[in-house]
Structure 1
Amino acid sequence: MKLDLQNIPRRSNLSKEDFHREYFEPRTPVIIEDLSRDWPARKKWNFDYFKEKAGEIIVPLYDGKPASGRSNSHGPARKIPFKDYIDILQVGPSDLRMFFFNLLKNCPDLINDFKYPELGIKFFKKLPVLFVGGEGSKVVMHYDMDLANNFHFNFVGRKRVILYPPDQTGLLYKVPYSIVSMEIIDMDDPDLQKYPALAKARGFECTLEHGDALYIPSHWWHWVKYETPSLSLTLRSLPTKRSDLGEVISNLLIMRNYDNLMRKLKGQKWIDYKNRKAMERTHRYAGIK
């Protein structure tokens, strides 16, 4: 058995009208190869440039270890200057990742290096964010809590991405009271004997190179592996449907707070309970005994 994945289509010279009709409205992913072709970032953004522009900024770093016991699932592993983190990335493999580095807040000069694409999309311009990771680091399968539409521009390095649409959620071992799959599952080489429902799920994959822009529709699951040290920019468009907005509020105000409270009260027993329920629900949905 192996994962059922098809390649995400690649397009160039995609008009605003074609993007809406073929991808945005049906919520289908696409790689737009030339969306950043006239941005200064396409030529300027590399690790040396960020050492110069943002090297002294203290950044939180996250590792690949699942949260355990009563620890907060969102806590950083360490905090160091950006330049020191870049040094770590350039030495060799590292599971340390930096995400949601807000350019507008931390390094506003860099917003002059890019512009918001004219795709007929209302972007959330207060949150242009960087994602950086070391060779071999991985991001657990998840969807975004705020259900944003993501436009993910890769500028340094190479990364592999796996996507699944929302209608495949029942097969992905979703953990209750969360927006993640079971953290123990390695989507790079999943144990399909232990997690057979994954073989039934139908998804998409791609490898992002320099200059590629990946459109990840709202509510789509995504998993990422940094094949090399990589730096990417994500521009976000928030959902507008009333049903989506209701789910966002529930995710942020109810689900997340409840999960953190139960972690504090029950510790590892709560995590074990959620993982057990994820297995039971997924296998029941997939008809696996």
Structure 2
Amino acid sequence: APQFPWATSSFLQLDVANLWFGDGKSVGKLHFDAYENLMTMVSGQKQFVLYDPSDNTRLYEGHIREAQYEMDASGDGFYRRKLMESTSMVNSPVDINDPADVTRYPRFAQANALRCTVNEGDTLFVPSFWWHEVISTPATHEARNVAVNYWYKPLYTKDFPCKSCRVRFNLAYEHVLRSLRSKKEEQSRDEL
């Protein structure tokens, strides 16, 4: 169970918990997740480069479509049976480490990056729909990188694929708004 009582006891609704385990030599290319994300490092470190959702058009938002696969008759492999209209992943074609990409993607020059390093024992909150690229490095004492993250239902949601769509309040949290409204009304009555 997550050890974030301020998040779980207040209002965030846990959707998925992930364990990330590797040799610490990986890069998660520029993408966003439709979840509120708490990432905790167990071993090694992760360097995050983050971009605000308002940078969507500067990052040339792209989508990988979902596909259905079936095993071929011989059992030796898979083939794509059907390409779906739904999106399985949101990514950017921009290589943030290649200066030449500013020529290919000129709006990227106006995107504003935030950079941070998450070390062992640290936790980073990545809001839903924030773009991020993640570089994992191994621990100094052993060649591994271990992290746990908790994905909570997003406070705000948006349609995608849709580069220009704005975020809107997620109705899954409507009870929070009602609770805040009730408390404010109680305060107003008490002040009379």
| Secondary structure in structure 1 of the residue aligned to 2:117 | strand
Conservation of the 8 A alpha-carbon contact between 2:36 and 2:155: no
1:1-289 alignment runs, 5 A limit: 111=1, 115-119=3-7, 120-124=10-14, 127-144=16-33, 147-176=34-63, 179-182=90-93, 185-191=94-100, 192-228=102-138, 229-241=144-156, 244=157, 247=159
How far is the alpha carbon of 1:190 from its aligned partner? 4.4
168 and 197 in structure 1: CA distance in 2 versus 1, 3 angstrom threshold = same
- Count of matched residue positions in the alignment of Structure 1 and Structure 2: 131
Conservation of the 8 A alpha-carbon contact between 2:37 and 2:128: yes
- CA RMSD in angstroms comes to 2.6
Conservation of the 8 A alpha-carbon contact between 2:51 and 2:112: yes
| Secondary structure in structure 2 of the residue aligned to 1:186 | coil
Q: Percent identity?
A: 26
| Secondary structure in structure 2 of the residue aligned to 1:235 | strand
Conservation of the 8 A alpha-carbon contact between 2:16 and 2:152: no
190 and 140 in structure 1: CA distance in 2 versus 1, 3 angstrom threshold = farther
How far is the alpha carbon of 1:117 from its aligned partner? 3.0
Query: Which consecutive unaligned segments of at least 5 residues does structure 2 have?
Result: 64-86, 139-143, 164-192
Higher helix share: 1
CA distance in 1, matches of 2:123, 2:11: 15
Higher RCO, 1 vs 2 (CA within 8 Å, ≥6 residues apart): 2
121 and 211 in structure 1: CA distance in 2 versus 1, 3 angstrom threshold = farther
CA distance in 1, matches of 2:5, 2:96: 31
Conservation of the 8 A alpha-carbon contact between 2:24 and 2:44: no
How far is the alpha carbon of 1:174 from its aligned partner? 1.4
CA distance in 1, matches of 2:123, 2:99: 27
Deviation string, structure 1 residues 80-117 (Cα, Å, up to 9, x no partner): xxxxxxxxxxxxxxxxxxxxxxxxxxxxxxx5xx5233
195 and 240 in structure 1: CA distance in 2 versus 1, 3 angstrom threshold = closer
How far is the alpha carbon of 1:135 from its aligned partner? 3.3
| Secondary structure in structure 2 of the residue aligned to 1:218 | coil
| Secondary structure in structure 1 of the residue aligned to 2:5 | coil
| Rg larger for | 2
How far is the alpha carbon of 1:202 from its aligned partner? 0.8
Name the aligned partner's letter for residue 124 of structure 2: L
Query: Which consecutive unaligned segments of at least 5 residues does structure 1 have?
Result: 1-110, 256-277, 279-289
Conservation of the 8 A alpha-carbon contact between 2:59 and 2:107: yes
240 and 224 in structure 1: CA distance in 2 versus 1, 3 angstrom threshold = closer
| Secondary structure in structure 2 of the residue aligned to 1:122 | coil
Conservation of the 8 A alpha-carbon contact between 1:123 and 1:235: no
Conservation of the 8 A alpha-carbon contact between 1:150 and 1:215: yes
Higher strand share: 2
TM-score when normalising by structure 1 = 0.40
CA distance in 2, matches of 1:155, 1:117: 19
